[in-house]
């Protein structure tokens, strides 16, 4: 058994974001071990008791390009907190019954979010 299998860690599932390494660095600056894994390689069986949280990164895709990304939605049924950032947030929304619509303009930086119901 390798050392990293014994450490509590945050798993970062990478969907191709330019910021994935920055996310990992921030987690590590908080004193928590983090591991980055490609969305193409992660399987449900790879998630063990040492993973205490999952971050779904952003990426250049959108949730309607289903053939270009893979994600096992059974990962969301585990008793592990999941944070979605950008594209990762879209995946969480869509897989939980939400709708993801294309904006009239691209958004970068701060944005206002309003709850409808």
Angle at 94 between CA 96 and CA 21, to 5 degrees: 105
- Asked whether residue 105 is domain-assigned, the answer is no
- Asked whether residue 28 is domain-assigned, the answer is yes
The pLDDT score that the predictor gives to residue 108 is: 67
Residue 57: Cβ-neighbour burial (10 angstroms; 0-12, 13-18, 19+): buried
Number of domains in the chain: 1
The pLDDT score that the predictor gives to residue 105 is: 72
- Asked whether residue 76 is domain-assigned, the answer is yes
- Asked whether residue 16 is domain-assigned, the answer is yes
User: What is the domain range of residue 14?
Assistant: 3-95
- Asked whether residue 68 is domain-assigned, the answer is yes
CATH number at residue 84: 3.40.50.880
> SS3 of 54, please?
strand
- pLDDT single digits (tens) 17-59: 889 999 999 999 999 999 999 988 888 888 888 899 999 998 8
- Asked whether residue 102 is domain-assigned, the answer is no
- Asked whether residue 74 is domain-assigned, the answer is yes
pLDDT at 6 over 80: no
pTM of this structure? 0.80
- pLDDT single digits (tens) 81-98: 999 998 899 889 888 888
- Asked whether residue 100 is domain-assigned, the answer is no
pLDDT at 15 over 60: yes
């Amino acid at each position: 058994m390798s050392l990293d299998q014994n450490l509590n860690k945050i798993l970062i599932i990478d969907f191709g974001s330019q910021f994935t390494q920055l996310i990992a660095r921030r987690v590590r600056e908080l004193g928590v071990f983090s591991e980055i894994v490609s969305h193409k390689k992660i399987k449900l069986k790879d998630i063990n008791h040492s993973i205490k949280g999952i971050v779904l990164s952003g990426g250049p895709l959108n949730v309607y390009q289903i053939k270009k990304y893979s994600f096992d939605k059974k990962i969301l049924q585990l008793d592990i907190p999941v944070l979605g950032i950008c594209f990762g947030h879209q995946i969480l929304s869509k897989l939980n019954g939400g709708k993801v619509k294309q904006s009239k303009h691209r958004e970068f930086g701060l944005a206002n979010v309003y709850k409808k119901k």
